Amino acid sequence: MYVRVSTDQQTVENQIMALTEVAQRSGWTVVQTFSDEGISGAKGRDKRPGYDALLKAVARREVDIVAAWSVDRLGRSLNDLVAFLTDIQAKGCDLYLHQQAIDTSTPSGRMMFQMLGVFAEFERSIIKARIAASLDRCRAKGVRLGRPPIPPIRLKKVEQGLLAGQSIRVVAKATGVSTATVQRVKQTMAKTVQATV
């Protein structure tokens, strides 16, 4: 079984319970439950340890069928989903998706899986387009996006610490800003010095 939730506030328990019932009804033996909790389906294999372990188990032929709650638990892009199905089927492994009641051991199941992947990718593209349009609308209205600027008094303390020869970490700790911010201030100071020379 493979289960995944996107945030730490969610739990995989409902997915495990439903898939365990399906396995019992179907006469499948659950050899292992692979889990990724608090990880987006848009993340790659290297950022999803449970997914990576599942694929390794499939490659070792320890798994005959992968059961997952839904197509979106596996991934969000069509390319990733099709690659996943191709990889597991090359090892003689099939896929069962509970929410869609798809079993890829049949030709119609394989076709439906690919169709669902198309819809999942389409939905993600729509969401991205809506977010981009919303950000453009905010920029057009003059709304400032991102983190608020550093207060001038704090910026002055960062600059003073750097001019005194303190390290980036020491300055960050003393002024309460991130090391990345101190690094940016240092780079800006260096460019200003170069411009005046």
Q: CB neighbours (10 Å) of residue 32? A: 13
Q: What's the rounded Cα separation, in Å, for the pair 74 and 97?
A: 10
Q: CB neighbours (10 Å) of residue 118? A: 12
Active-site hit among 6, 40, 70, 77: 6
CA 72 vs CA 15, 101, 123, 141, 183: distances in Å:
13, 14, 11, 35, 39
Active-site residue 6, yes or no?
yes
Q: CB neighbours (10 Å) of residue 41? A: 22
Task: Report yes or no: 96 and 68 within 8 Å, Cβ to Cβ.
Answer: yes
Catalytic residue set: 6
